[in-house]
Chain A
Amino acid sequence: MRARRVMIMLLLAAISALTLFVVVLFGGAAEAAECPASAVPDTLASCRDHLDVAASGDAIASVTVVLGRVSSMDLLLPCSCGDGRGHVITKGPAAFGADASGAPLPIVEVLGRPHWNLRLLAGAAPGDTIVAEAVVPGWYDADATRREFGVHALGRSWVNSTPAVVRRMELGLSLPPGLLVERVGATTPGFNANRSPEPPYRILREGDRDVFVITTTDLEPSGRSAFALEARPGRRGPMALAVGVLLAALYLLSFRDVLKPEPGR
């Protein structure tokens, strides 16, 4: 009887030890699968994606990247210049990737969207700056973007399709000459005056046009930066002036009786 009890206890102890071993072994493996060896994500210290729109509607797209920690030599960055021409890298230790024949291929499609096809050169290091540019014909069409009150709807969106965290992302747009920002629509990140004293965007002036820049910090992979604007010509028509002067003159003429004391006074 006693021997049987001891046997049962030994059996239970063995089962417990085996269970513990399995849990430790496979649990650890599962944890390891979730967290690859390179647990530190790639980073870009900053990325500035800007569109400079000319009066003709053509735009110069430029991207300026400051490298952070990068584990791959291929750097595919979303771009707004899929149909562009004149792609060029103006600065930094990078070249365009090549196709099968070895010819430079500045733009590639990733998930149906155009991307800059940058390949870092040997020796590229954190802190290096890379600048690439291209011309985008017909980015802005005044007739197609015109809305009520003669404003033009403009906007940009940038989705971080890289595996890197972008520490500081600046998405910008230099409006066509003569156009100024009428209203800032939806932005990502949004602006809630109750939570933050400062909006995430700035409106700068260059000559006779506005430059809109929205800044996002620590933009994670698949994170988004975007804005929608209404813009209008900086010169205002004479209608308001004519109506205002006419109404003021009519009032002065028609309301002279206001100056007379009220009856009974």
Chain B
Amino acid sequence: MSHGGGSAIRAALGRIDEILDLSRSKLSDVPEKQSTAGERWMKYLGFPAGVAAFLALFYMPTPEGLTTGGQVVIACFAAALVWWVTEPFATYVTSLLLMAMLVFLNGWSEDEVLGVLGYSVIWLNVLAFILSSMLVRTNLAKRIALAMIVRFGRTSKWILAAFFALNLLLAAFIPATAARAAILLPVMLVVASIYGASNRSPNNFGRNLFLQNLQAIDFGSSAYMTGSNANLIAVAFILSMGGSRVYYTDWFFAALPVVVAAMVISWWIGPRFVFRVPAEQQTPVVEGGIERMQEKLREMGPVSTAEKKAAAIFGMVIVLWVTDKLHMSLFGFEISAVMAAFLGAVIALAPKLGLLKWNEADIPWHLMLFSCGAYAGGLALNDTGAARWLVDRLFTALDIQPGVNFWVVYCIVIAINMYSHIFFTSKTMRTLIFIPFVIAIAQNLGFDPLWLALPAAFTIDWVIALPINAKPNIILFATGQYSVLDNLKYGLIMTTVGTILLIAAGFTWFRVLGITPGLP
């Protein structure tokens, strides 16, 4: 990875107009990246390592309960996981290879594999990029970013903190994480640019900015019961299988402190230890600094008609996202997050009425193919029963017997649920598989299912280790501001932090709230 050249970036990107011209670094471009010696070795050995992982799993005797089709999918997914991390070739090539392997080895049918391109998750990504392009094209993103920078951006740490706060606020109203990523993406791009980060010359500020936003979008959702659909599914399981009703405030008061603590820790350790931000990246690279940007904001003049139209279109989409629960009573049908974005994109692209020509829509199709492969692998794991089998085996192998201390089980459950996200591409899928297991374990051991299931539910939105783990991760990975390895490094550190926080909360805060046992 490239860590430096702050002064060079200043020299090259000193002119504010050039910095704010995002057409210079389009998301659909795939720039060549510079890599360190270690990364080059990983790249070189990654392909044979992936092949070895595949062959070992493919040829091992099929274990009881697993279908041979499921075994093929596990082998293919393991190889792809190694290749995505080590990047012997581009991530989208790995995805295409994974899809081909699934078909040719009869892991998943051709129709199902090819059908993934039509899934709502892919559509939502495409539409999010169209809406994001509209905000960039009309300069509304630039205006919002400049306003944010002028208000909070004297130093990098405060602009990073502002994004955390913004994410926590948005999560309360917009349950779709991809939608939140779509809202913030253009603003993040402009802010990154102002601090000298682009996909052609990524820097550590950019890594912190995008990865911290990824984390804030993902685990920010776990502060609210309505933060994601997966949270609601977990609550439904806790009621139907565990017999305990969890109210919004139960969830909120328990999870919010954990989320806020995690955000503060991430904000603090990111620029200091994970991706150290050098002094020259701690302030905007624009000559004249904040004053010049204040001037630039003034130069932009009053909000233009195009910006107003963009704000109206995007506002309509946001209103539809926020009011999703009211749609049935208002319209008699529900407008999904995808269809809300669809409406916005149609208006944005409409002749005369709209603001965007097709050629101006910056859609990184290579990322869509990357997403397709990731989802195909994840869905095939689910469809063949392989994911369920793996989780079943994991808990069986742990051989947790009645009489064991509750806190031992608690720590194991939290750790497994947290780290398991690395191997899943869908929160919903993970919830459907894990939460019933956790409830069943609690019941077998004679514990109240709530003691384990609710803290386990708080881990659902921690999907931060890899770009394949969640929709916003893919959207932000499209910026080219960080590598898969960067994502994994920061993601694993924060997953560990999250695990420790949830375990500590289990011993303390959750006891006070009566979620875990101990206090009368």
Binding site for B on A (CB under 8 A): 148-149, 151, 180-184, 193-194, 197-199, 202-205, 230, 232, 234, 236, 240-241, 244-245, 247-248, 251-252, 255-256, 258-262, 264-265
Q: B55 contacts which chain A residues (CB < 8 A)?
A: 240-241, 244-245
For residue A94, give the distance in angstroms from its CB to the closest CB of chain B. 35
Asked if A232 and B34 make an inter-chain contact with CB atoms under 8 angstroms apart, the answer reads: no
Nearest opposing residue in chain A for B39, CB measure: A258
- Does any Cβ of A come within 8 Å of B48's Cβ? yes
| Bound Cα distance A236, B55 (Å) | 11
Q: B437 contacts which chain A residues (CB < 8 A)?
A: 197
Given contacts A149-B106, A240-B58, whether A259 and B44 have CB atoms under 8 Å apart is yes
Nearest opposing residue in chain B for A229, CB measure: B67
- Does any Cβ of A come within 8 Å of B12's Cβ? no
Q: B7 contacts which chain A residues (CB < 8 A)?
A: none
- Within 140-164 of B, Cβ neighbours of A (below 8 Å) are at none
- Does any Cβ of A come within 8 Å of B129's Cβ? no
- Within 379-396 of B, Cβ neighbours of A (below 8 Å) are at 382, 384-385, 388
The digit string for B60-94, where 1 denotes a CB below 8 A from any CB of A, is 01101111110000000000000000001000000
Nearest opposing residue in chain A for B58, CB measure: A240
Asked if B47 and A248 make an inter-chain contact with CB atoms under 8 angstroms apart, the answer reads: yes
| Bound Cα distance A149, B68 (Å) | 12
| Bound Cα distance A256, B35 (Å) | 15
- Within 1-44 of B, Cβ neighbours of A (below 8 Å) are at 32, 34-35, 37, 40-41, 43-44
| Bound Cα distance A194, B37 (Å) | 46
User: Which of B59, B64, B237, B382 contacts A241 (CB under 8 A)?
Assistant: B59
For residue B34, give the distance in angstroms from its CB to the closest CB of chain A. 5
For residue A120, give the distance in angstroms from its CB to the closest CB of chain B. 38
| Bound Cα distance A193, B430 (Å) | 11
Q: Is the interface of A mostly helix, strand, loop or mixed?
A: mixed
| Bound Cα distance A264, B5 (Å) | 13
The digit string for B427-469, where 1 denotes a CB below 8 A from any CB of A, is 0010011011100000000000000000000000000000000
- Does any Cβ of A come within 8 Å of B264's Cβ? no
- Does any Cβ of A come within 8 Å of B484's Cβ? no
| Bound Cα distance A7, B310 (Å) | 83
Given contacts A193-B432, A197-B241, A252-B48, whether A258 and B61 have CB atoms under 8 Å apart is no
Q: A262 contacts which chain B residues (CB < 8 A)?
A: 32, 34-35
- Does any Cβ of A come within 8 Å of B117's Cβ? no
Asked if B432 and A194 make an inter-chain contact with CB atoms under 8 angstroms apart, the answer reads: yes
Nearest opposing residue in chain A for B439, CB measure: A197
- Does any Cβ of A come within 8 Å of B322's Cβ? no
Inter-chain contact count A-B, CB under 8 Å? 92
Q: B40 contacts which chain A residues (CB < 8 A)?
A: 258-261
For residue A206, give the distance in angstroms from its CB to the closest CB of chain B. 9
Asked if B106 and A180 make an inter-chain contact with CB atoms under 8 angstroms apart, the answer reads: no
Question: Beyond A203-B67, A240-B55, A245-B55: 20 further Cβ-contacts under 8 Å?
Answer: A148-B106, A151-B106, A182-B69, A182-B106, A193-B382, A193-B388, A194-B432, A197-B237, A197-B432, A197-B437, A204-B64, A236-B58, A240-B59, A240-B105, A241-B59, A244-B55, A255-B44, A260-B40, A261-B40, A262-B34
Nearest opposing residue in chain A for B109, CB measure: A183
For residue A199, give the distance in angstroms from its CB to the closest CB of chain B. 7
| Bound Cα distance A262, B59 (Å) | 38
- Does any Cβ of A come within 8 Å of B169's Cβ? no
Asked if B69 and A230 make an inter-chain contact with CB atoms under 8 angstroms apart, the answer reads: yes
Asked if A183 and B65 make an inter-chain contact with CB atoms under 8 angstroms apart, the answer reads: no
For residue B102, give the distance in angstroms from its CB to the closest CB of chain A. 12
Asked if B68 and A182 make an inter-chain contact with CB atoms under 8 angstroms apart, the answer reads: yes
Asked if B61 and A234 make an inter-chain contact with CB atoms under 8 angstroms apart, the answer reads: yes
What are 30 A-B residue pairs whose CB atoms fall within 8 Å in the complex?
Answer: A148-B106, A149-B106, A180-B62, A182-B68, A182-B69, A197-B241, A197-B436, A199-B385, A203-B64, A203-B65, A203-B67, A204-B65, A230-B69, A234-B62, A234-B68, A240-B105, A244-B54, A244-B55, A247-B51, A248-B48, A252-B44, A255-B44, A255-B88, A258-B40, A258-B44, A259-B41, A259-B44, A260-B40, A262-B32, A262-B35
| Bound Cα distance A106, B158 (Å) | 85
The digit string for B93-122, where 1 denotes a CB below 8 A from any CB of A, is 000000000000110000000000000000
Q: A194 contacts which chain B residues (CB < 8 A)?
A: 432
Nearest opposing residue in chain B for A265, CB measure: B34
Central interface residue in B40, B61, B62, by most chain A CB within 10 Å: B62
- Does any Cβ of A come within 8 Å of B52's Cβ? yes
The size of the chain B interface, using a CB distance under 8 A, is 39
| Bound Cα distance A262, B1 (Å) | 12
Asked if B59 and A202 make an inter-chain contact with CB atoms under 8 angstroms apart, the answer reads: no
Q: B44 contacts which chain A residues (CB < 8 A)?
A: 252, 255-256, 258-259
Nearest opposing residue in chain A for B32, CB measure: A262
Q: A241 contacts which chain B residues (CB < 8 A)?
A: 55, 59
For residue A28, give the distance in angstroms from its CB to the closest CB of chain B. 41
For the complex of A and B, 5 pairs with smallest distance between CB atoms: A197-B436, A205-B64, A248-B48, A149-B106, A183-B69
Q: B432 contacts which chain A residues (CB < 8 A)?
A: 193-194, 197
User: Which of A193, A199, A244 contacts B51 (CB under 8 A)?
Assistant: A244
For residue A210, give the distance in angstroms from its CB to the closest CB of chain B. 8
Central interface residue in A241, A256, A258, by most chain B CB within 10 Å: A258
For residue A250, give the distance in angstroms from its CB to the closest CB of chain B. 10
| Bound Cα distance A259, B67 (Å) | 40
Asked if A251 and B47 make an inter-chain contact with CB atoms under 8 angstroms apart, the answer reads: yes
Q: A148 contacts which chain B residues (CB < 8 A)?
A: 106
Asked if A248 and B69 make an inter-chain contact with CB atoms under 8 angstroms apart, the answer reads: no
For residue B376, give the distance in angstroms from its CB to the closest CB of chain A. 16
Q: A182 contacts which chain B residues (CB < 8 A)?
A: 67-69, 106
Nearest opposing residue in chain B for A212, CB measure: B67
Asked if A181 and B106 make an inter-chain contact with CB atoms under 8 angstroms apart, the answer reads: no
Asked if B106 and A184 make an inter-chain contact with CB atoms under 8 angstroms apart, the answer reads: no
User: Which of B52, B66, B68, B237 contacts A232 (CB under 8 A)?
Assistant: B68
| Bound Cα distance A210, B44 (Å) | 40
Asked if B61 and A184 make an inter-chain contact with CB atoms under 8 angstroms apart, the answer reads: no
Nearest opposing residue in chain A for B54, CB measure: A244
Q: A245 contacts which chain B residues (CB < 8 A)?
A: 51, 55
For residue A254, give the distance in angstroms from its CB to the closest CB of chain B. 11
Given contacts A151-B106, A236-B59, whether A248 and B51 have CB atoms under 8 Å apart is yes
For residue B443, give the distance in angstroms from its CB to the closest CB of chain A. 13
Q: B105 contacts which chain A residues (CB < 8 A)?
A: 240
For residue B520, give the distance in angstroms from its CB to the closest CB of chain A. 33
| Bound Cα distance A156, B383 (Å) | 21
Asked if B58 and A181 make an inter-chain contact with CB atoms under 8 angstroms apart, the answer reads: no
| Bound Cα distance A262, B39 (Å) | 12
Asked if A258 and B43 make an inter-chain contact with CB atoms under 8 angstroms apart, the answer reads: yes
For residue B202, give the distance in angstroms from its CB to the closest CB of chain A. 14
Q: A183 contacts which chain B residues (CB < 8 A)?
A: 67, 69, 106, 384
Asked if A184 and B385 make an inter-chain contact with CB atoms under 8 angstroms apart, the answer reads: yes
Nearest opposing residue in chain A for B105, CB measure: A240
Q: A259 contacts which chain B residues (CB < 8 A)?
A: 40-41, 44
| Bound Cα distance A261, B429 (Å) | 41
For residue A1, give the distance in angstroms from its CB to the closest CB of chain B. 60
Q: A256 contacts which chain B residues (CB < 8 A)?
A: 44
| Bound Cα distance A241, B55 (Å) | 7
